[in-house]
Amino acid sequence: MCALSVPTIALTRGTNGEEVLIPQLGLGTYKIPDDEAECVVRDALAVGYRHIDTAQMYGNEAGVGRAIAACGLPRRDLFVTSKLDNPNHRRDDALRSLDATMGALGLEVLDLFLVHWPLATSTGIDLVDTWRTMIEILHSGRVRAIGVSNFQPDHLRRIVEATGVVPAVNQIELHPWLAQSELRSTHAQMGIATESWSPLGRGRLLTDPVVVRIAEAVGVSPAQVIIRWHLQNGLVVIPKSTHRERMIANADVIGFTLDDAHMAALDALDQGVRTGSHPDQVQV
Ligand code: A2P
């Protein structure tokens, strides 16, 4: 079981000063039911993926955990992310839900724990309270890094101004149709790594004529073009696939580069088109 050759990005150091390296490419598991997750993640680990992204909301942490338990890889070779669900923002709920996450994943320490949405469903909870609980979790040593997901620039500024602790990551919907330039420049100023969810636009970008034309010119697949665009932009990318052959192809993106003209043509596709919820209007 050879690991893929994937570059890493150093995350902002947590309070314990440990350097945490995140593999720039991982497997997304959104919408993979628990009973399928074990088989999908087992395939991903077998073909060399070492970074797996799950969430309390996905309901598949136990399946992911069964695949991790069975894979036989040293724990230090894996990078596992999970996310705090919206009903769990209150301190006691967050701590209890983290216990459940760790139990389901079968891990002593999680690599990265994110606040999934800037939206608590329990009343009377402010984002700053949630972030203080995440900082407490980081201090406890049960996670190596903490971050957020779907945060807008004002959310980021508010939690950092109140606590002085910068999220290591903001995981947001990002692909050539939704390039998120304002958020990316805010992240660059604040030292936050940008992670792209639905990096293929839930598969819809694969038939975009510009993507298809570039794929033909370079001699790779449309998915490989888009994943390469994320990597060359310095983004962490987590394409989801339940098919082993697609997982292999999606990770076979290190042996070619997109030239400036191709990158510019992909950049020009940005029309602010979302395939998922807007953080201000998410349905919970
Ligand atoms: P499947 O899971 O059946 O392979 P995103 O990561 O942007 O959310 O996109 C995920 C969607 O794209 C899924 O429907 C997935 O289908 C599909 N997909 C992922 N990789 C490929 C690929 N290489 N070729 C075609 N479809 C793909």
- Within 6 A (CB) of ligand 1 lie 28, 198-203, 206, 221, 223, 239-243, 246, 249-250
- Angle (CA) 24-27-32 rounded to 5° is 155
As given in the structure block, the two tokens for residue 176 are: 């050539």
Q: Does some domain include residue 128?
A: yes
Domain count, the chain: 1
Pairing relation of β-strands 8-10 and 21-23?
Answer: antiparallel
Indicate the top mutation candidate among 240, 252, 274 to test ligand 1's pocket, ranked by most ligand atoms within 8 A of CB: 240
pLDDT in tens, 147-162: 999 999 999 999 999 9
Q: Which atom of ligand 1 lies closest to the CA of 223?
A: 23
> What is the predicted pLDDT for the residue at 64?
98
pLDDT in tens, 92-124: 999 999 999 999 999 999 999 999 999 878 778
> What is the predicted pLDDT for the residue at 280?
79
pLDDT in tens, 262-278: 999 999 999 999 999 88
Residue listed under structure tokens 């900082």: 135
Q: Does some domain include residue 278?
A: no
Cα distance between residue 175 and residue 197, in whole Å: 8
Confidence of residue 1 (pLDDT cuts 50, 70, 90): low
Q: Does some domain include residue 281?
A: no
Q: Does some domain include residue 28?
A: yes
Cα distance between residue 192 and residue 24, in whole Å: 14
Per the prediction, the chain carries an average pLDDT of 95
> pLDDT exceeding 90 applies to what percent of the chain?
90
> What is the predicted pLDDT for the residue at 278?
86
- Say how many Å lie between the first and final Cα of the chain, rounded: 39
Cα(20) to centroid of ligand 1, in Å?
28
The closest residue, in CA terms, to atom 26 on ligand 1 is: 203
Cα distance between residue 174 and residue 234, in whole Å: 12
Residue 255, number of CB atoms within 10 A of its CB? 8
pLDDT in tens, 30-41: 999 999 999 999
Q: Does some domain include residue 282?
A: no
Answer yes or no: are the C-beta atoms of 27 and 49 closer than 8 Å.
Answer: yes
Cα distance between residue 81 and residue 68, in whole Å: 13
- Cross-strand pairs, 82: 113
Active-site entry in 32, 40, 58, 237: 58
> pLDDT exceeding 70 applies to what percent of the chain?
97
* pLDDT exceeds cutoff 80 at 14: no
The closest residue, in CA terms, to atom 23 on ligand 1 is: 246
Residue listed under structure tokens 């940005």: 270
pTM strictly above 0.85: yes
* 58 classed as catalytic: yes
Confidence of residue 234 (pLDDT cuts 50, 70, 90): very high
Please count the CA atoms within 13 angstroms of the CA of 243 that sit on its side-chain side.
4
Indicate the top mutation candidate among 36, 205, 243, 277 to test ligand 1's pocket, ranked by most ligand atoms within 8 A of CB: 243
Q: Coil, strand, or helix at residue 233?
A: coil
Q: Coil, strand, or helix at residue 231?
A: helix
Domain of residue 212: give its range: 8-271
Residue 264: CATH number of its domain: 3.20.20.100
pLDDT in tens, 37-88: 999 999 999 999 999 999 999 999 999 999 999 999 999 999 999 999 999 9
Q: Which long-range contacts (CB under 8 A, 24 or more apart) does 250-255 make?
A: 250/25, 250/223, 250/224, 251/4, 251/6, 251/25, 251/47, 251/48, 251/49, 252/224, 253/25, 253/220, 253/224, 253/227, 253/228, 254/4, 254/5, 254/6, 254/7
* pLDDT exceeds cutoff 70 at 15: no
Q: Does some domain include residue 2?
A: no
* pLDDT exceeds cutoff 80 at 284: no
